[in-house]
């Protein structure tokens, strides 16, 4: 396992697509903040606190960076799919098995690699959004205090956990399809489908206790809590952490089981 991790991380550092993904997502984070500043400060004369108009701050933008459906999140999902399927397109998987590596270890090594890559890229994007957002809009409407350092660490940690759900899903689909194109299409399509289902449930049955329970298990609900609450309640935190870890475990087990049955040529 140790040798597999070394090899996978070495190939990741040499992978130009990983570097390109980092550069593109960082650029998109910069552009997003600057664009919002230009729109709200120069193009739209909207009084602060107008109903229906969000209040943008460095804190909000930092947390928004972890949303899988935003520009940087979508690009990163594509890059993860490319990284995860290269073992199949370059026939590296076969070489690993010939050298006696267990398929479970091969999968876990690749998963750890893409998760670490995703975490690093998303933290960089979150910090960029936090710094630029704070410069243009202020850290929060009440300003920055020393205790906010702890909150920033909490927000980064929760953001990473929520995004790892997406990374583990993409990884599972990559090993199921062995195709970059199919992985990207299915991952993005499935993410939008889940969001649509969540939105329908929220507006049609959100007051029903049974529906509400299932909504509380959905990633979109966890991100809404994360984005709209400064600190999640204990109940929200339990749902978010428990369900996220459950999804990661489920996707990993499905991916490993499928990979173990795959005929590698």
Alpha carbon 48 to its chain's center = 30
DSSP 159: H
User: CA 77, 81, 250, 164: dihedral to nearest 10 degrees?
Assistant: -40
Work out the number of other CB atoms within 10 angstroms of the CB of residue 14: 9
Asked if 65 contacts 29 with a C-beta cutoff of 8 angstroms, the reply is: yes
Asked if 163 contacts 155 with a C-beta cutoff of 8 angstroms, the reply is: no
Confidence band, pLDDT 50/70/90 cuts, at residue 264: low
pLDDT digits (tens, 9 = 90+) for 115-135: 999 899 989 999 999 999 888
Q: What is the pTM of this model?
A: 0.85
Q: What is the pLDDT of residue 44?
A: 59
For the chain, the farthest-separated pair of C-alpha atoms sits apart, in whole angstroms, at: 66
Dist CA 16 CA 12 (whole Å) = 8
Dist CA 46 CA 53 (whole Å) = 9
Q: What is the b/e burial string over 81-91, where b = at least 16 CB atoms within 10 angstroms of the residue's CB? A: bbbbbbbbeee
């Amino acid at each position: 396992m140790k040798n597999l991790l070394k090899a996978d991380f070495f190939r990741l550092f040499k992978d130009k697509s990983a570097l390109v993904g980092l550069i593109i997502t960082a650029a998109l984070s910069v552009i997003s903040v600057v664009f919002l500043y230009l729109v709200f400060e120069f193009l739209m004369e909207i009084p602060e606190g107008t109903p229906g108009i969000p209040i943008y701050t460095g804190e909000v933008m930092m947390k928004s960076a972890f949303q899988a459906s935003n520009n940087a999140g979508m690009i990163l999902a594509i890059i993860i799919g490319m990284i995860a399927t290269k073992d199949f397109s370059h026939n590296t998987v076969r070489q690993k098995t010939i050298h006696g590596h267990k398929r479970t270890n091969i999968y876990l090594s690749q998963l750890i690699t893409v998760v670490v890559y995703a975490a690093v890229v998303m933290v960089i994007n979150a910090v960029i959004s936090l710094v630029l957002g704070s410069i243009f809009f202020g850290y929060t409407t009440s300003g920055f205090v020393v205790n906010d350092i702890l909150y920033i660490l909490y927000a980064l940690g929760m953001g990473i956990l929520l995004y790892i759900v997406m990374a583990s899903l993409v990884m599972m689909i990559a090993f199921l399809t062995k195709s970059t194109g199919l992985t990207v299409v299915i991952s993005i399509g499935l993410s939008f489908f889940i969001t649509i289902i969540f939105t329908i449930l929220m507006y049609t049955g959100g007051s029903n206790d049974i529906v509400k329970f299932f909504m509380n298990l959905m990633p979109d609900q966890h991100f809404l809590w994360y984005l709209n609450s400064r600190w999640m309640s204990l109940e929200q935190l339990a749902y978010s952490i428990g369900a996220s870890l459950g999804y990661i475990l489920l996707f990993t087990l499905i991916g490993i089981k499928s990979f173990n049955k795959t005929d590698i040529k």
